[in-house]
Chains A and B, each alone.
Chain A
Amino acid sequence: MTFSGVLTIIIYSLQPYWPLLLLLAVLLMAAQWAGRGKKGRVPGLVYGLSLSIGIAAALLAPTLTLSQLSYVQTTTDILALLAVAVGAGLYAGLVLSPLLRARN
């Protein structure tokens, strides 16, 4: 399959999720805006929460797709699940760190 074919299919696949993606983007921007004046250190809680959210997202992903965790068997499956964990964890970190960061 060509790269442009894959890209086209991804765009079509994301079509039903545009409102959700937009909401996530708005949430991220709002969090960044809310924490724009803060320059203090990021509390350890943010790392713990982000990690937990990443792990929870990975554990929930098979159920959300009408499957189950025990069916995650192949290398591709495991890498996909890791990508879900890293993506969700990173997003959570980007939203939480400006909100929970100390002022100075």
Chain B
Amino acid sequence: MPPLKHRTHNPKRRQFIKWGLGTAAASALPFGIAFARQKTQARILILGAGAAGTAMANRLNNALSGARITIAGKRPKHHYQPGYTLVASGLWAAEQVLTPTQDWLPSEAHWIPSDAAEFFPDKRAVRLEDGQMIEYDLLVIATGCQLNYADIEGMSPDLVGQKGIGSVYAGAEAATATNRQIESLIDAGEGRAIFTLSNTPIKCAGAPLKMTFTTLSRLEDTGRRDNFQVDFFTPYPNKVFSVPVYNDFVLNRWQEQKVGFHDQRVLTAIDAEAKKATFTTTDGQRQQEAYDFIHVVPPMSAPDAIRHSELAWQEGGMAHQWLEIDQYSLQHRRYPEIFGVGDVIGTPFGKTAASVKKQAPVAETNILNYLADRPLTAAYDGYTSCPLITSVGKAILAEFGYGGELMPSFSFIDPTEESWAVWVMKEKMLQPAYYAMLNGQV
């Protein structure tokens, strides 16, 4: 299917909409509430200029008066990551998910295009990769997560788009390259496609499943589905998704779609030249599998600067991997002046853009309370949402929180039913909702 014509980026129009919405919101509020911004002299440092960092910057900028807000994050382009699966499935052009980072940041905030290199939490300071030392009164860590492709022997992000290797996580260009590899498989008229899952917590845990479903959809559309062997390898026993109702749905559907299911196998090595992947079983056995296309899901963690610092969990399953945060207040468990939002935080759930939408207001409220010496009252319930594409053209709106509890947002949408309306939401409405979130408006 040809890529859709992408919308032209128009910052002036966006600015107009932004101001229009802002004015509409302000006019709907009583004068006193709209302009009652909390006064502070705090130096606020936000690490990360992605979804979480940008949403927090806009929210804090709107809520505080007098704060000096600095945002550090080196990516010049903002990536709408929920669109990666649509790009990798040949439905969107890569440009459709890219916008200048600067366009989303509040003009009053100071943006430093550099990532964090080292933390000095006892001195309340962070050294950036460009050498600057930034001191803070309040730190928001929203760096996103790190893709550890190198943990898979023989694998590197440079290989994505070559020799049958795809990976939707590696960026917009990698998503396009992944689509080209899938197209090559389809054009070949036969072959074996392998889809994998990492044995670490991952962002958008539905993405590997969506890639499998959209590829199956495309293979079925060729009318020669039987010429292709499709296999899924998961590290977990009989599990590809944390919430049982969705896990069962996916496994049953794949059985109907004749997907080979191989559990308790971790992708540990790739021989790109020979097109062979090595999986290691729980008892340490290594098993080699030939492929024509493989979708690699890298192990993920907090960025090295965080996971090797005092700020990471020091014990437990997330030790030295993820940011140590109270899963409800989003405040650091040992450094009260530090809060965390987004993929970097070490909580049981919450690594999607929809999670950020729920986390950002909680973190904002608790930060305002912290700055005013009030108790932290807001709590994040683990809300995570994933429009789980089950075929090109339909999806399930999976919404859940801590403990795997289903948390449907709309009474008229069954959270366990495949639906065209949910697909339309994913394809047409999720990106606008995301941009409203970046602006701190939802």
- Which A residues have a C-beta under 8 Å from some C-beta of B? 1, 4-5, 8-9, 11-13, 15-16, 62, 65-68, 71-77, 80-81
Contact = CB atoms under 8 A, between A and B. Distances in A.
Contact of B421 (A12, A13, A77): A77
B246 interface: no
> Nearest 9 CB-CB pairs, A to B?
A67-B393, A12-B432, A13-B432, A71-B394, A5-B442, A77-B420, A9-B433, A71-B420, A74-B419
A75 B391 CA distance: 19
A76 B27 CA distance: 33
Contacts of A67: 392-394, 420, 423-424
A13 B419 contact: no
Nearest to A77: B420
B427 interface: yes
Interface stretch (B167-175, B278-286, B409-417): B409-417
B394 A9 contact: no
B27 to A, nearest CB: 12
A73 B421 CA distance: 9
Nearest to B410: A1
A9 B413 contact: no
A23 B14 CA distance: 20
A80 B421 contact: yes
Nearest to A6: B442
Given A66-B91, A66-B393, A67-B393, A9 B436 contact: yes
B150 interface: no
Contacts of B374: none
Contacts of B417: 73-74
Q: Which one of B4, B25, B420 has the highest number of Cβ atoms from chain A below 10 Å of its Cβ? A: B420
A20 to B, nearest CB: 12
Contacts of A15: 13-14, 17, 432
Given A4-B28, A8-B436, A77-B419, 8 more contacts: A1-B409, A4-B25, A12-B432, A12-B436, A13-B433, A65-B420, A71-B391, A80-B420
Nearest to B418: A73
A19 B427 CA distance: 20
B433 A65 contact: no
Interface of B: 1, 4, 7, 13-14, 17, 21, 25, 28, 91, 391-394, 409-410, 412-414, 417-421, 423-424, 427-429, 432-433, 435-436, 441-442
5 contacts: A8-B25, A67-B393, A74-B413, A76-B412, A80-B421
Q: Which one of B17, B25, B91, B421 has the highest number of Cβ atoms from chain A below 10 Å of its Cβ? A: B421
Contacts of A80: 420-421, 424
Contacts of B17: 11-12, 15
Contact of B442 (A8, A73, A75, A77): A8
A8 B392 CA distance: 27
A60 to B, nearest CB: 13
A81 B420 CA distance: 10
A101 B13 CA distance: 40
Given A1-B409, A66-B91, A76-B419, A13 B13 contact: no
B419 A65 contact: no
A81 B13 CA distance: 30
A1 B411 CA distance: 11
Nearest to A81: B420
Given A9-B436, A73-B419, A77-B420, A68 B393 contact: yes
Q: Which one of A1, A67, A75 has the highest number of Cβ atoms from chain B below 10 Å of its Cβ? A: A67
A103 B423 CA distance: 46
B424 A65 contact: yes
A2 to B, nearest CB: 8
Given A5-B442, A8-B442, A9-B433, A65 B414 contact: no
A66 B427 contact: yes
B12 to A, nearest CB: 12
Nearest to A9: B433
Contacts of B435: 12
A94 to B, nearest CB: 25
Contacts of B14: 15
Contacts of B436: 8-9, 12
A71 B393 contact: yes
A9 B429 contact: yes
Q: Which one of A15, A66, A75, A81 has the highest number of Cβ atoms from chain B below 10 Å of its Cβ? A: A66
Given A9-B436, A76-B413, A65 B427 contact: yes
A77 B419 CA distance: 7
B410 A62 contact: no
Given A12-B435, A13-B429, A62-B393, A72 B410 contact: no
